[in-house]
């Protein structure tokens, strides 16, 4: 499943978002401007702006402020990726060298900071609702930082629970999905009950998105999923497939596996053992049930919206997130 038809449907609005992003990132510093252009040329599927535009059109008439808020979502997302690559020591993203590997880590942090500031300036340039939306994005940025730090803390102790995991993936992923959808609804003056519905949709969509992403770490085909298998384990991250597998065994066996995860930095050969444990205990299939639950929850949140092409595409977007292969 892909979302090419959604992107084609939204092309006029997405083009406006692209124009806004490019205008927001313009700089007379050639190193910065050239790096920004390269990052834009190798961007992802723009799922967050797609989400924002669909929500805006499903709830009302997309405005210039809607375009600005959709652009802000993509600016913040890419800013956090620049920072994540430094934190993770990543040398590749989307099959291309990271900014940190091409330039250096300080440059990547500074460019990420630039994107964050331009995200905020883009929001503040809106004609209406800028103060309300800036507060939403400020909370999201706080969520992102807290989620990363909680994940670091739990990686060191290897005691991540399901509750911890949901908090981490909400903070790292679903919070920005929420901000994208809610700011879009606000931009078209949607009533409170509609705002709440699309926020709940986006929250469940974001949780499903990250669970699917975490499942890739245990799937066999590196070329298909677009990232090396086992990266999360090597970073001592206990994600949904491993959590599901741990729930199928005794406390003693679960503790033994957790100790393996805690020691992986010193014993990288344990990655294979933990990976095999997840496969043996059917962790991927059990994760799929969790993924399907959040996908269904997201789609059910759309019931309150009037029938429209955008509502149908929002349901399709949820199914795409659940079924994507990379």
Task: Say whether 263 sits in a helix, a strand or coil.
Answer: coil
Determine whether 307 is exposed, middle or buried from the number of CB atoms within 10 Å of its CB (0-12, 13-18, 19+).
Answer: exposed
**What CATH number should be reported for the domain holding residue 296?**
1.10.600.10
Confidence of residue 326 (pLDDT cuts 50, 70, 90): confident
CA distance linking residue 227 with residue 99, whole number of Å: 17
pTM above 0.85, yes or no: yes
Give the pLDDT score at 91: 82
Total domains in the chain come to 1
pLDDT, tens digit (0-9, with 9 covering 90-100), for 33-44 = 999 999 998 877
Report the percent of the chain where pLDDT is more than 90: 86
**How much is the mean pLDDT over the chain?**
94
Model pLDDT, residue 93: 79
Helices (H), 89-191: 99-102, 105-124, 130-157, 162-169, 175-187
Q: How confident is the model at residue 270 (pLDDT cuts 50, 70, 90)?
A: very high
The whole domain housing 213 covers: 4-323
pLDDT of residue 220: 66
């Amino acid at each position: 499943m892909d979302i090419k038809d959604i992107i084609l449907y939204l092309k006029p609005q997405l083009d406006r978002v692209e124009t806004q992003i490019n205008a927001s990132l313009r700089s007379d510093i050639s190193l910065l401007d050239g790096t920004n252009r390269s990052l834009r040329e190798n961007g992802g599927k723009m799922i967050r702006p797609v989400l924002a535009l669909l929500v805006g059109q499903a709830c009302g008439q997309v405005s210039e402020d809607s375009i600005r808020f959709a652009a802000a979502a993509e600016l913040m997302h890419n800013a956090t990726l620049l920072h994540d690559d430094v934190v993770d020591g990543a040398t590749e993203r989307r099959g291309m060298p990271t900014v940190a590997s091409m330039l250096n880590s300080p440059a990547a942090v500074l460019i990420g900071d630039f994107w964050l500031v331009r995200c905020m300036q883009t929001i503040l340039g809106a004609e209406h609702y800028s103060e309300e939306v800036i507060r939403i994005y400020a909370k999201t940025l706080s969520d992102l930082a807290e989620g990363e730090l909680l994940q670091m803390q739990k990686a060191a102790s290897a005691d991540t629970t399901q509750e911890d995991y949901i908090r981490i993936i909400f903070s790292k992923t679903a919070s920005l999905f929420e901000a994208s959808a809610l700011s879009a609804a606000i931009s078209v003056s949607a009533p409170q009950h509609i705002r709440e519905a699309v926020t709940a949709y986006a929250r469940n969509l974001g949780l499903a998105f990250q669970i699917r992403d975490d499942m890739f770490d245990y799937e066999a085909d590196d070329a298909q999923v677009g990232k090396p298998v086992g990266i999360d384990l090597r970073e001592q991250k206990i994600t949904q497939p491993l959590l599901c597998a741990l729930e199928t065994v005794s406390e003693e066996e679960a503790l033994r596996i957790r100790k393996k995860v805690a020691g992986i930095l010193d014993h990288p050969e344990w990655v294979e053992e933990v990976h095999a444990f997840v496969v043996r205990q059917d962790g991927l299939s059990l994760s799929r049930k969790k993924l399907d639950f959040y996908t269904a929850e997201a789609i059910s949140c759309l019931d309150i919206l009037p029938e429209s092409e955008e509502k149908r595409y929002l349901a399709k977007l949820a199914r795409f997130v659940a079924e994507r292969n990379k």
